[in-house]
Amino acid sequence: MITRGFYTALGRLLGSADPAAIITEVGFGTANTAETFDDTALTGAIRKPVEAVEVDADDPRRIQVSWTLARDEANGLPIREIGLFTADGVLVARVARASAIEKTPDMELGDWFELQL
């Protein structure tokens, strides 16, 4: 779910080309509460840089943000939520999982968020 922070960051980015509004990080947290428009944080989160932010050439309103979590990252963390953050730490999107991913050293995770403006 896109959060209120997304629209705030988008307004800053479009209004002033504020580099702090650029999506730069993905976070992994432990809360299993449902997503809401007013989400601002992840619980017990670790954050890391995203792999790529790409604008769809055929539909520039669509943005894909890719991430990976390496074998040596977040081991032992029961991942129940994943979110995207701007350079200045604003949560712009969050997804909550029904069940946890129990991260272990023998797994690498990767996925993407697709955001449509």
Beta carbons within 8 Å of 1's beta carbon, 6+ residues apart: 35, 36, 37, 39, 93, 94, 95
State the pLDDT confidence band at 101, using cuts at 50, 70 and 90. Answer: very high
Residues 10-51: tens digit of each pLDDT:
766 655 567 777 889 999 999 989 999 999 999 998 999 999
Residues 79-96: tens digit of each pLDDT:
999 999 988 899 999 999
Total-model pTM: 0.84
